[in-house]
Structure 1
Amino acid sequence: MTSRTVKAIFLIAFSALSISVTAKNDHKNHTAKAAPAPPYAKRVDAMRFADDLAERRGLERAWVRRTIGQARLLREVPRLVLPPPKGAPKNWAAYRARFVEPVRIRAGLRFWQDNAQALARAEREYGVPAEIIIGILGVETLYGQHMGGYRVIDALATLSFDFPDAHPRAAERRAFFQRELEQFLTLMKRTGMDPLGPRGSYAGAMGLGQFMPSSWARWAVDFDGDGRIDLWRSAQDAIGSVANYFVGHGWTAGMATHYAVEFDAAHLQLDELLAPDILPTFSTARMAAMGAQVQGEGAQHAGPLALVELQNGGLPPSYVAGTENFYAVTRYNWSSYYAMAVIELGRAVAAARP
């Protein structure tokens, strides 16, 4: 899961004196902003957490305290994890355009060509289509081009001990990142990696597929067979790990992700159909009785379905009938918009192949 901050720079002409004064002030302000935060070694709550973690995990207390103690607050990160303002319009067309676009499609073609054997093997062994894996890696990191530059230890410590109270689920999310910090340190100790070295997203996600530490510990695989797992440099490990993650979250080989749906306005019970959100709940017969008729092959779909709504700003929303495989894609990132972007990018790359 990645985030990009776009900074706008405006050049304003001043007199020579004004430029001189402004430059001095800007330098002073930049210096103040750039000054590193004090290390977490000075925080009582962080050191208490380190002691508890060491005891529960059977890790050397001094090593855990020293490692967490060297982490530093990333001042911009608490702001980045806050949800968008309530009422902010969602726009599927705009969201899609960020990911299903020529640069990403061309990069996906190159990645598929370079890793065709690994993708075919993953599809054969795990039942996850190559285009789904291609979609994930393209949306997450543009096939390894944007894996994040934050020290993972800093990101996880920041969100463990300085998660913003303004977040509506602050306590829950703070606990989540504390568990991820625990998993990260355990992983580093088990693999012998330097815990101050790995870099990733502002949330602590790592590698081509942006695995959180708990996902790495549970789902990452040594797909290239070199005796170690490297999700940063081994495309094969990333491919196999993404496929294994999907299988672990309920992926069913051969099942479509979604179907087209049309409404019978006279019988439509839209609120009831949308109530379960993206959780597959209704049979095709039940959906039809509620005014949503699944089209094509979907009419014979045997499993549960969800009516997925994709808002389009001021235009009418788009709707699809999502299967349990669509739901599996949302386990990577809990968003129907994300899942559709992954699916459509993968399809676009597949369609562009010779």
Structure 2
Amino acid sequence: MKRLLSTALVCLAAATATVAPPVLAQPKQRSAVQGTTAYAERGEALQMAADIAARRGLPPAWVEATLGQARFLPQVPRLMTPSTQVSARNWNNYRGRFIDPVRIRAGVRFWNTHEAALARAEREYGVPAEIIVGIIGVETVYGQQMGNFRVIDALATLAFDFPEAHPRAAARTEYFRGELEQFLDFTYRGGIDPFALRGSYAGAMGLGQFMPSSWAKWAVDFDGDQRIDLFASPVDAIGSVANYFIGHGWKPGMPTHYPVSLNAAPEQMATLLGPDILPTFTPARMLELGARVHGSGAAHAGPLALVELRNGADAPLYIAGTENFYAITRYNWSSYYALSVIELGEEVRMAREARP
């Protein structure tokens, strides 16, 4: 294997000499979390390199050399392993992690700086500026916390060493192998140094924390400079987040949720909560089941979901989520996350409007 890797390294310069024009400015080098064993020592990694090269039409020497230099990150499987400690979910505590004065002030600065881009994204995609501001704020505090793991190391670790204790280990391994393949493809075709990109321990990148497949499918050149850069171009990130939502079912002009009051029997609650966050019921059907949707939600034309956000020992919060609420959960499969995005955006908007 070492002989194969050395051969690939010799060919690396020639293989990269014919790449397409870059779609991403090379980000500033930041210190990365250090990996240990290189995947050149793993036969399955070298076999996957050959398979990726064949499927994607990439130079086999480049793929093998690149994947072979990825390193195992021992802390990543630990971070992916579900906790054995069971604790009650608490919406107020979760909300407090993301909606605080520091993040709100940063959001006001971000909105003021990029007001024109946010307005254009709202106009062209129909996604409100406050939702985009909420996403980027929750994900990275407006670019302040984009991660310091080498993306290729994180993806290789999750592709070949995903924790077996995870209840969905097989499915998640396949998912991350697909993301690793997409990462290798877009870095080669974009003339990007695959070892320069830093991100989360799951391989998410840039201001909006896009996975490689999302970057390939939904990222857009919103600033018009002929390249896509979700690290250093907030304007590209703004347009890309909006495009992501449109691609995941966002309906312009539709609210995200409505207030709801309950007078439901236990069996009715079981029916209402059965679909989880998937919009399923008309307002009339919800009323029949003991859930009254208030305000304009009583006449809502599409399906709704009864969303439960638990508050530890206190009473849960309930809302009626629309298809747009569900669209936000396509970014992160969590009703707590979605409502945090919504409320952070609202808080930033109100703080901005309150200033003279």
Structure 2 length-normalised TM = 0.88
Bigger Cα displacement from structure 2, 258-267 vs 145-154: 258-267
Shift of 1:220: 0.1
Shift of 1:121: 0.2
Find out whether 1:50 has 2:41 as its counterpart: no
Superposed CA offset, 1:43-86 (max 9, x none): 01111111111111111101000000000001100011122336
The one-letter amino acid of 2:136's match is: L
Q: 1:233 to 1:169 in 2, by over 3 A?
A: same
The one-letter amino acid of 2:77's match is: P
Aligned pairs (5 A) from 1:86-235 = 87-235=86-234
Q: CA RMSD in A?
A: 1.3
Residue of structure 2 in register with 1:13 after alignment: none
Find out whether 1:75 has 2:74 as its counterpart: yes
Residue of structure 1 in register with 2:58 after alignment: 59
Residue of structure 2 in register with 1:18 after alignment: none
Number of positions where the alignment pairs a residue of Structure 1 with one of Structure 2? 321
8 A Cα contact 2:35 2:153, kept in partner = no
Shift of 1:35: 8.3
Superposed CA offset, 1:29-52 (max 9, x none): xxxxx9852210010111111111
8 A Cα contact 1:153 1:196, kept in partner = yes
Q: 1:268 to 1:228 in 2, by over 3 A?
A: same
Shift of 1:159: 0.2
Aligned pairs (5 A) from 1:267-282 = 269-282=268-281
Residue of structure 1 in register with 2:322 after alignment: 323
Aligned pairs (5 A) from 1:240-259 = 240-259=239-258
Q: Secondary structure at the match of 1:349?
A: helix
Q: What is the CA–CA distance in structure 1 between the aligned matches of 2:202 and 2:290, rounded to whole Å?
A: 41
8 A Cα contact 2:132 2:238, kept in partner = yes
Q: What is the CA–CA distance in structure 2 between the aligned matches of 1:313 and 1:252, rounded to whole Å?
A: 33
Q: What is the CA–CA distance in structure 2 between the aligned matches of 1:332 and 1:138, rounded to whole Å?
A: 13
Q: What is the CA–CA distance in structure 1 between the aligned matches of 2:51 and 2:343, rounded to whole Å?
A: 45
Shift of 1:115: 0.2
Residue of structure 2 in register with 1:262 after alignment: 261
Bigger Cα displacement from structure 2, 282-291 vs 77-86: 77-86
Structure 1: give runs of 5+ residues left out of the alignment.
1-33
Q: 1:51 to 1:297 in 2, by over 3 A?
A: same
8 A Cα contact 1:79 1:164, kept in partner = yes
Q: Percent identity?
A: 66
Q: What is the CA–CA distance in structure 1 between the aligned matches of 2:265 and 2:229, rounded to whole Å?
A: 55
Shift of 1:88: 2.3
Residue of structure 2 in register with 1:6 after alignment: none
Residue of structure 1 in register with 2:24 after alignment: none
Q: What is the CA–CA distance in structure 2 between the aligned matches of 1:198 and 1:331, rounded to whole Å?
A: 24
Q: What is the CA–CA distance in structure 2 between the aligned matches of 1:350 and 1:337, rounded to whole Å?
A: 20
8 A Cα contact 2:117 2:235, kept in partner = yes
Residue of structure 1 in register with 2:238 after alignment: 239
8 A Cα contact 1:269 1:290, kept in partner = yes
The one-letter amino acid of 2:177's match is: Q
8 A Cα contact 1:305 1:321, kept in partner = yes
Q: What is the CA–CA distance in structure 1 between the aligned matches of 2:113 and 2:236, rounded to whole Å?
A: 14
8 A Cα contact 1:268 1:291, kept in partner = no
Q: 1:77 to 1:266 in 2, by over 3 A?
A: closer
Structure 1 length-normalised TM = 0.89
Structure 2: give runs of 5+ residues left out of the alignment.
1-32
Q: What is the CA–CA distance in structure 2 between the aligned matches of 1:265 and 1:207, rounded to whole Å?
A: 44
Q: What is the CA–CA distance in structure 2 between the aligned matches of 1:332 and 1:208, rounded to whole Å?
A: 13
